[in-house]
Amino acid sequence: MSVLDIPRSILRFQYRIVRIPLDLFESNVVQTWSTEAPARLAYERAVGTLDHKVGKILGDADVQSRGQDKVDHADHIGLAKKLDAQADAAETEAKTKLETARRTAEQERDAAAKSAREAAENARAEAEQRKAEAEEEADRRAAARKKQADDAAAARVKAAEDAERKQKEQIDKVEKAASAPVESELADAAERQEEAEDKKEEAARIEKLFLAEKESD
């Protein structure tokens, strides 16, 4: 006698007997597992698939529905677990990106602050260099002006000395000429003496003018 000849009611009864060990295992063991445990989800999916197929073959809507509920329950929990994992991964990725952005911002801020400090230091160094160069240039100009003044003063002194020397030479000539007994020579000497006096006064005037200019410098 084939399976098809056996009344479905008997097959349903026999399947219920076969399911007793599974029911006991489920109530005593599977129920102690976490609802999201992979082993529990695999068990519920496998048993649910079995109930669904057997219920469909035997025309037992309750068994078929019970099996489908188990499969759906396992699928829903698995999907929820998957979504939770994806959400956790997305949250972790977001935190990582946020931390990376924060570190990048800190690095950029530190780099900007360092660049600003270096720019300020360079500006101060450049200003100090320009100041030193300006002071050095001022010293060079002052030295040049002093040398020019000294040269001018030396030239005026030399001119005065030359005038004084010429005056003395002229006086000596006059004195020599004055010592001659001839009246004409005495007259010439007197005239030269007068000329010498004029030159002497002129030299004295030049000397006073030189001294006054030197004091004004």
Burial (0-12, 13-18, 19+ Cβ within 10 Å), 38: exposed
Confidence band for 170, pLDDT divided at 50, 70 and 90: confident
Q: Is residue 9 part of a domain?
A: yes
- Residue 177: pLDDT over 80: no
Q: Is residue 152 part of a domain?
A: yes
- What the block records as the tokens of 28 is 């005593």
CA 184 to the chain's CA centroid: 101
- Residue 81: pLDDT over 80: no
Q: Structurally, how many domains does the chain consist of?
A: 2
Task: Show which of 42, 64, 99 is a domain's final residue.
Answer: 99
Asked whether residue 19 falls in the same domain as residue 73, the answer is yes
Residue 181: which residues within 8 A CB-CB, separation 6 or more?
A: none
State which residues form the domain around 74: 3-99
Asked whether residue 155 falls in the same domain as residue 94, the answer is no
Q: Is residue 33 part of a domain?
A: yes
Can you tell me which residue has the tokens 């000395």?
161
Q: Is residue 107 part of a domain?
A: no
- Residue 153: pLDDT over 80: no
Q: Is residue 118 part of a domain?
A: no
- The residue ranking higher by pLDDT, 10 or 177, is 10
Asked whether residue 147 falls in the same domain as residue 88, the answer is no
CA–CA distance, 174 with 147 (Å, rounded to integer): 40
Q: What is the mean pLDDT of residues 76-89?
A: 80
Look at residue 180 in the predicted model and tell me its pLDDT: 55
Q: How many CB atoms lie within 10 A of CB 163?
A: 17
Asked whether residue 155 falls in the same domain as residue 68, the answer is no
- Residue 135: pLDDT over 50: yes
Q: How many CB atoms lie within 10 A of CB 167?
A: 19
Burial (0-12, 13-18, 19+ Cβ within 10 Å), 55: buried
- Residue 206: pLDDT over 50: yes
Question: Whole-angstrom distance between the N-terminal and C-terminal Cα of the chain?
Answer: 147
Look at residue 182 in the predicted model and tell me its pLDDT: 55
Kindly report the length of the chain.
Answer: 217
Q: Is residue 121 part of a domain?
A: no
Confidence band for 77, pLDDT divided at 50, 70 and 90: confident
Asked whether residue 92 falls in the same domain as residue 156, the answer is no
Question: Closest Cα partner for 200 from 170, 177, 167?
Answer: 167
Asked whether residue 95 falls in the same domain as residue 151, the answer is no
- Percent of residues, the chain, with pLDDT higher than 70: 91
CA–CA distance, 51 with 65 (Å, rounded to integer): 8
- Residue 1: pLDDT over 50: no
Q: Is residue 26 part of a domain?
A: yes
- Residue 178: pLDDT over 70: no
Asked whether residue 162 falls in the same domain as residue 83, the answer is no
Asked whether residue 12 falls in the same domain as residue 90, the answer is yes
Q: Is residue 136 part of a domain?
A: no
